[in-house]
Amino acid sequence: MSNNRGSFSGKIGFVLAAAGSAVGLGNLWRFPYLAAQYGGGIFLLVYLILTITFGFALMTAEIAIGRKAGLSVVGAYRYLDKRFSFMGYISAIIPMIILPYYSVIGGWVTKYLFAFATGDSKEAISDTYFSTFTSKPIEPLIWFLIFIALTAIVVLFGVDKGVERVSKVMMPVLVVLTIFISIYTMFLPGALEGVKYYLTPDISKFSVKTVLAAMGQLFYSMSISMGIMITFGSYLKKDVSIEKSVKSIEWFDTGIAFFAGLMIVPAVFAFSGGNEEALGQGPGLMFVTLPKVFDVMAGGTFMGITFFLLVLLAALTSSISLMETIVSIFQDKLGLGRKMSCLIVIGICLLLGIPSSLGSGIWSEIKILGFQFLDFFDFISNSVLMPIVALITCIFVGYIIKPKSLIEEVELSGPFKRKNLFVIVIKYFAPVCIVLILISSILSGFGIWSI
């Protein structure tokens, strides 16, 4: 079954492709906004601690499962224990739910890049530009289709020729651009207050919600619990160190999120005169506030183009990994060719993406459980299905196949230094934390308790 599967040429290709999946809108848009909302420095600190414990253990487990089985997510669970085949199906559904709405947002980013590149940046700074654009029926759909087409082209070229090649170029560019813009922003007048807010942990701002928000962000940001890392692991050669790869991916993901915060939080302070409320805008923060920032900056149009190009590249590498995961499931399970699988995925994207896009405009009155389409898909995947998958993964690894079997897989390519940490997190720490996230996110999703 695993014949004709692509493979990564080595550690660098693997790390860049996995980091490409992890680094996306979650880092550039969601992380800074959450950091701002949940107390700046204290959120950052909690996030970092969770990354090196929880994130490390779950990502290692997923990559090791994938490589051990040599199959994408549906086959991998069945291969390791027949009773857990259902896990493959749940984790396969998650990327199918995320990809369509992710592409809608990717389309918005593409539109902003286009607006800046064609000299429309003056209009993009108006307060209503974002809402006027996203509520139109046709135009956002066209950008959504462009975004899906860009993703599909890379996936069609296959793993090593497509995903790996694109990631190898995109990721280093992304790192350089993020650092460049954040340094630029830090030197803006008034930005220093924001830098302080972002970097100094204020214990009085700590609460359970800080931990829960940081943990939810961790799932999303590291692309764990949706079969993506299992699929990538199945393409990984046995002599590449899983532990070192995970470390590098974490550095990439957390580093980019850190600099994204440093680029956005101080900028908002600088341009709102220190008004902390301006930090709480969510989606608006990136699309509404930053163009204003670019407008008053010297060379702002150039900065705007650079920034939205950066976000587009990051979003694309993530959407490529989502599509790749689904395509590889269709290839393995249904024996379909790559082209056919891609076509089916595009069909799913249209089916779920069109309502997500129209939900910001003419369909905004239609609600599922009180959510508009896009928010509903986001909630179901990130706040319900991903914690469930993560929890069952921990039980599966900790108590069914036992950590030992994955430790052996990791040790195929050298010693596993953080073995004890891995076992403790998988068996005890992670399951307890995940149950907490799950309860809180469901309560907050139904408006009983807001995180």
- Which parts of this chain interact with ligand PHE (CB under 6 A)? 21-22, 24-27, 98, 220-221, 223, 226, 228, 318, 321-322
What's phi and psi for 368, nearest 5 deg?
A: -115, 125
Minimum gap (Å) between residue 256 Cβ and ligand PHE: 9
**From CA 285, how far away is CA 305, in angstroms rounded?**
17
Minimum gap (Å) between residue 391 Cβ and ligand PHE: 17
C-beta closer to ligand PHE: residue 121 or 223? 223
C-beta closer to ligand PHE: residue 210 or 225? 225
What's phi and psi for 127, nearest 5 deg?
A: -60, -30
C-beta closer to ligand PHE: residue 269 or 307? 307
Minimum gap (Å) between residue 368 Cβ and ligand PHE: 20
Minimum gap (Å) between residue 203 Cβ and ligand PHE: 28
C-beta closer to ligand PHE: residue 314 or 426? 314
Residue 369 gets the label, from left (phi > 0), alpha (psi -120 to 50) or beta, of: left
CB 230 within 8 A of CB 90: no
C-beta closer to ligand PHE: residue 129 or 220? 220
C-beta closer to ligand PHE: residue 255 or 361? 255
Minimum gap (Å) between residue 154 Cβ and ligand PHE: 14
Q: Nearest 5 degrees, angle CA 214-CA 217-CA 222?
A: 120
**From CA 304, how far away is CA 366, in angstroms rounded?**
34
Contacts of 332 (CB under 8 A, 6+ apart): 1, 2, 71, 72, 74, 75
Minimum gap (Å) between residue 389 Cβ and ligand PHE: 12
Task: Kindly state the greatest CA–CA separation across the chain.
Answer: 61
Bridge partners of 266, per DSSP, are: none
**From CA 229, how far away is CA 431, in angstroms rounded?**
19
Minimum gap (Å) between residue 315 Cβ and ligand PHE: 7
C-beta closer to ligand PHE: residue 236 or 311? 311
In this structure, the chain runs to a length of 451
Q: Looking at 187-299, list the stretches that DSSP marks H as alpha helix, in order from N- to C-terminal side.
A: 191-199, 208-222, 228-234, 242-272, 283-284, 290-296
